[in-house]
Amino acid sequence: MTVNSNDTAQLRPGLWGTINERYPGVMITKDDFIPLAHLKRPLSEARLTFISSAGVQPKGTMPFDVVHPVGDYSFRRVPSGAKVDDLEIHQIKYPTNGASRDLNVIFPIERLQELKAESVIGALTPNFFSFIGYQMDPATFESTLAEDMASAVVADGADAALLCPA
């Protein structure tokens, strides 16, 4: 965020249209064919995980590194049963004032807990997963953070993942 955000204005319109000009080489183009994974059971019987680039983390864990010029390639486990008051955001690259008032606008943990309680979702994985979306090395991002987090998601027994960019 270059300007402290408010709730109504579109900040930095046209941002994405100029990103390759401002950050040459940072946009990732993938030519690999990655087949879609089909859900093997109804959502009401599936175990869902949530993956977010919002920089949400349990209080007391090492803050995401928002100052490093090349980025942070780590992720945090966020217990799916956590209370919002036990979580915080460490990120300065997107407007967080709305999320600071209600974390669910960027990290809808309470909505997912409710959907689980209402049996719309069969179960939640023990952990959700969060990282920050500022990495200057796409190859390292893919080979470390993405691979490590994917392994953690599998270990948590997820049938489906809800992905949410910040």
Partner 1 sequence: MSLQYLKEAVANNETDKLIRYVRLHLGDGNETAGREEIDKAWIEALTPLLDVPTTDRAFIFKTLAEQDTATLAHLFFHLHFYFVQRSGKWIHDGQL
Nearby residues of 150 by Cβ (< 8 Å), 6 or more positions away: none
Between the CA atoms of 36, 37, 42 and 44, what dihedral angle is there, to the nearest 10 degrees? -100
d(CA 134, CA 46): 31
Q: For partner 1, which residue of 138, 146, 148, 162 counts as binding (CB under 8 A)?
A: 138
- Tell me which of 22, 30, 40, 59 binds partner 1, using CB under 8 A: 22
Residue with tokens 């209402």: 118
- How many other C-beta atoms lie within 10 A of the C-beta of residue 106? 22
Span near partner 1 by CB under 8 A; candidates 19-27, 37-45, 76-84, 143-151: 19-27
Using CB under 8 A as the binding rule, whether residue 15 contacts partner 1 is answered as yes
105 is an interface residue for partner 1 by CB under 8 A: no
Which residue's CB is nearer to partner 1, number 68 or number 83? Answer: 68
d(CA 10, CA 58): 30
Nearer of residues 126 and 138 to partner 1, judged by Cβ: 138
Among 43, 58, 74, 88, binds partner 1 (CB under 8 A): 88
Residues 59-78 that bind partner 1 (CB under 8 A): 63, 66-70
User: How far is residue 70's CA from residue 29's CA, in Å, rounded to a whole number?
Assistant: 19
Q: Residue numbers of the site for partner 1 (CB under 8 A)? A: 1-5, 12, 15, 22-26, 55, 63, 66-70, 88-97, 136-138, 140
